[in-house]
Structure 1
Amino acid sequence: MDQHIAEAIGRPDLIRLDDRLVCLRFETMKAVSALAAVRHLLDTGAVRRGDTLLDSSSGIYAYALALACHQYGMRCHIVGSTTVDHTLRTQLAVLGATLEQTEPCSDLKLDQKRRVERIHEILAEHPEYHWMRQYHDDVHYLGYRAVADRIREAMGGAAGGAAGLTVVGGVGSGASTGALARYLRGAHARAGAPADGPADVELVGVQPYGSVTFGAEHVPDPEIIIAGIGSSIPFGNVAHELYDTLHWISFDAALAGSVDLLRRHAVFAGLSTGAGYLAARHERERAPERTVLFIAADTGHRYVDTVYARHREAAALAELAPREIAHQGQLALPWSRMRWNRAPAVAAAGVIPPRSVPR
């Protein structure tokens, strides 16, 4: 029996949509990382009950951290973007979290920069606060070990069977897709198989156009940068060398994926899930011998007006296919795909080249 609602909210469902297509569905995925991170900080003495935990958020992490603070008797202070809506503001207030919202800004990079600057101002005023650094600290990987164990158990031991498993999801901070791949590959290696063998776990990251994480900042999306899967500022806990393949997906294509997922499989999920579903279907078609699992990070409720109300505009998935590219200079909307081949990040500014290894 769960001891707190946060534990139930963070536990995912595994839903088989097709013979080789599985949805890992969360109500609020970041509850997994927030709970484990706070528990680890308490266990190691980095923080104590009653301390204030601080971070910046565009919405979902704010709720997850507020829940973790509620469970463990901590105070929570959030510097939030203008995307934090009335429903979430009300929940945070009742949970006892303090929310500061930045001034409205149409430039996402400027909005994120302002929030980080405000974090530093608060830390200067209150050095006793603990900055959670959700985009930079590997402590947020910890919660996904249990999720990897659940995937392996549900799929009968070796994840994906003899032909292997392909995990698809938004890159974001790296603490979901990156962590799952790290734990799944680690368990597979301990079982005696080579880490890069044919039965290994492949990781497919999904990015929006305009994200700097894998070098797409030079291609803007006329709609928005999809929240949660990309960033206009560098993230410190993305392990680039974990990713085999990348998909860049526009708002319009992700909208089509979200609508099709609800219409075809009755899964009501967020916009990043629509992008992941689109990429997962394509990867399944390319390698029909492998099981493909994609992540649904949250429900679709906050996307009712911006996505689902536009369902009549959604393109049929049969009309969508990725453009295969060799480097980021070839990126083009609405959908591009590139083999990354577990290459490390390149520190220099500009385009990040993939390692030249055949598929």
Structure 2
Amino acid sequence: MRGRLPHTTRPGRRAAVEATEAYQLPRLLRLEPNLYAACFTLMKMVPARHILRRALADGRLDPGTVIVETTSGTFGLALAMQGVHLDRRVVLVSDPVIDERLHRRLVDLGATVLRVPASAGERPGGYQAARLELLARVREEYPATFCPEQYTNPDNPRSYAMVAEHILDTLGPVDCLVGPVGSGGSMCGTAAGLRASVPHCQAIGVDTFASVLFGQEDGPRELRGLGMGLMPGNLDHRVFDHVHWCTPFVAYTATRRLHQRHALFMGPTSGAAYLVARWFARRNPHARVVVMLPDEGYRYQDTVYDDAWLSAHEQAGVAVPEDPVVVDDPRTAPQPWATFAWGRRPLNEVIAPAPAGAPGR
């Protein structure tokens, strides 16, 4: 089979690991006296590898079984890389606006990438709903498929137990975990792992405006990797103590600051999380804070890291507020940066439906 690594026969030497295994654990870097970064090369490798290895062990990923998934980002890249090592075909359903650099890399790894039409973005649920419909049709075309179902598979958050253990073993007790929220897996899984040893550990989720994840109405979103039009099953709202929302220009500016201050070349979801984590760490100097930085910035060299692009999109030179606006209702959060005390509550407790006959918000 292609992609298999030879075993070493030298006594006393550990066998070489696959490239995908080497992507799993983050580098833990100290950014400020009480702020640490869990810096991933490709964070989505953690759930992708765990889910596929579980499926392989359980007999759900036999030879000839096609790995299929809906993704527009790095989860698809992690699956394609795994497909090389497992010698399995990978078919990905994505957006028409998938990053072209990522698309070329996926194809080079042997993955088939299907894109929903641009008109799907105007429908309820947007591209994400259209992708799920196309995924269902794709699964009917093959006699045997396995779908990791990153949004609903409980093995997604469970896979981050190893990340939490790595953080605790390296840093000791952590008082606050900050990170971007998409499928819900990384923040919910890592926070749960940390709280098994440190129950008081706070979890701060970072989202973008016009995302349904924390109670706002679905709408157009420029910031890739943050926000959703559909609610993922793996998002446990009861994990979060606070939630922050920020606009693209706030995230882009913070991403460049992360690079300029710490030489960390990361994507804009990392920048958004860094902004919030630095703000919290400076206001809580005795708290040990860890921020999740999901992936590197190579896909954003022509956008976030290009001053001409920022200027053309009216993003250059825009001032970032020193503090977020504190709101008492997520649905009223004002741009460009707002925060809400979620209080580890379920969504229906925070966003209670209006009584019959009550005026809408």
TM-score, length-normalised on structure 2?
A: 0.86
Equivalent AA in structure 1 for residue 191 of structure 2 = A
Segments ≥4 residues shifted beyond 6 Å:
347-352
1:278 equivalent to 2:275? Answer yes
2:75 to 48, 61, 70: 61
Could you say which residue in structure 1 is the equivalent of 2:20?
6
CA contact (8 A) 1:166 1:202 kept: yes
1:137 equivalent to 2:139? Answer no
CA contact (8 A) 1:168 1:293 kept: yes
Instruction: Summarize the Cα distance change of 1:349–1:46 in structure 2 as closer, same or farther, 3 Å threshold.
Output: farther
1:209 equivalent to 2:214? Answer no
Could you say which residue in structure 1 is the equivalent of 2:194?
184
Q: What is the rounded CA distance, in whole Å, between the counterparts of 2:160 and 2:317 in structure 1?
A: 33
Equivalent AA in structure 2 for residue 201 of structure 1 = C
1:166 equivalent to 2:176? Answer yes
Q: What is the rounded CA distance, in whole Å, between the counterparts of 2:323 and 2:63 in structure 1?
A: 51
Q: CA deviation at 1:328?
A: 1.7
CA contact (8 A) 1:56 1:116 kept: yes
Task: Answer with 1 or 2: which has the greater Rg.
Answer: 2
1:155 to 171, 188, 196: 171
**Superposed CA offset, 1:254-303 (max 9, x none):** 11110111111111100101110111011112321101111111111111
Aligned pairs for 1:264-343 within 5 A = 264-310=261-307, 313-315=316-318, 317=320, 319-343=321-345
Q: CA deviation at 1:211?
A: 0.7
Q: What is the rounded CA distance, in whole Å, between the counterparts of 1:346 and 1:93 in structure 2?
A: 41
Q: CA deviation at 1:74?
A: 2.1
Structure 1 residue matching 2:93: 3-state secondary structure: strand
Q: What is the rounded CA distance, in whole Å, between the counterparts of 2:167 and 2:319 in structure 1?
A: 30
Q: CA RMSD in A?
A: 2.2
Structure 1 residue matching 2:245: 3-state secondary structure: strand
Could you say which residue in structure 1 is the equivalent of 2:104?
90
Identity of aligned residues (%): 30
1:262 to 259, 264, 285: 259
Could you say which residue in structure 2 is the equivalent of 1:48?
62
Q: What is the rounded CA distance, in whole Å, between the counterparts of 1:88 and 1:235 in structure 2?
A: 23
**Superposed CA offset, 1:312-339 (max 9, x none):** 714455x432000111232110011011
Equivalent AA in structure 1 for residue 67 of structure 2 = L
Q: What is the rounded CA distance, in whole Å, between the counterparts of 2:137 and 2:250 in structure 1?
A: 39
Q: How many residue pairs get matched?
A: 332
**Superposed CA offset, 1:202-223 (max 9, x none):** 10000110110111226x56xx
Structure 2 residue matching 1:92: 3-state secondary structure: helix
Instruction: Summarize the Cα distance change of 1:29–1:2 in structure 2 as closer, same or farther, 3 Å threshold.
Output: farther
Structure 1 residue matching 2:197: 3-state secondary structure: helix
What 5-or-longer segments of structure 1 have no aligned partner? Answer: 189-194, 353-359
Instruction: Summarize the Cα distance change of 1:336–1:349 in structure 2 as closer, same or farther, 3 Å threshold.
Output: closer
CA contact (8 A) 1:37 1:142 kept: no
Equivalent AA in structure 1 for residue 347 of structure 2 = A
Equivalent AA in structure 2 for residue 227 of structure 1 = R
Instruction: Summarize the Cα distance change of 1:206–1:267 in structure 2 as closer, same or farther, 3 Å threshold.
Output: same
**Superposed CA offset, 1:80-105 (max 9, x none):** 11233333233222322111122235
Equivalent AA in structure 1 for residue 237 of structure 2 = H
Q: What is the rounded CA distance, in whole Å, between the counterparts of 2:339 and 2:351 in structure 1?
A: 21
1:345 to 328, 347, 354: 347
CA contact (8 A) 1:59 1:83 kept: no
**Superposed CA offset, 1:165-196 (max 9, x none):** 211011111110110001111234xxxxxx3x
Q: What is the rounded CA distance, in whole Å, between the counterparts of 2:238 and 2:349 in structure 1?
A: 13
Q: What is the rounded CA distance, in whole Å, between the counterparts of 2:108 and 2:253 in structure 1?
A: 35
Could you say which residue in structure 2 is the equivalent of 1:72?
86
Structure 2 residue matching 1:346: 3-state secondary structure: helix
Could you say which residue in structure 2 is the equivalent of 1:232?
229
Equivalent AA in structure 1 for residue 206 of structure 2 = V
Could you say which residue in structure 2 is the equivalent of 1:126?
142
What 5-or-longer segments of structure 2 have no aligned partner? Answer: 1-14, 355-361
Q: What is the rounded CA distance, in whole Å, between the counterparts of 1:128 and 1:23 in structure 2?
A: 40
Instruction: Summarize the Cα distance change of 1:49–1:203 in structure 2 as closer, same or farther, 3 Å threshold.
Output: farther
Structure 2 residue matching 1:176: 3-state secondary structure: helix
Structure 1 residue matching 2:90: 3-state secondary structure: strand
- Comparing 236-245 with 103-112, which one deviates more in the overlay? 103-112
Q: What is the rounded CA distance, in whole Å, between the counterparts of 1:143 and 1:179 in structure 2?
A: 7
TM-score, length-normalised on structure 1?
A: 0.86
Equivalent AA in structure 2 for residue 208 of structure 1 = T
Q: CA deviation at 1:59?
A: 2.2
Structure 1 residue matching 2:348: 3-state secondary structure: coil
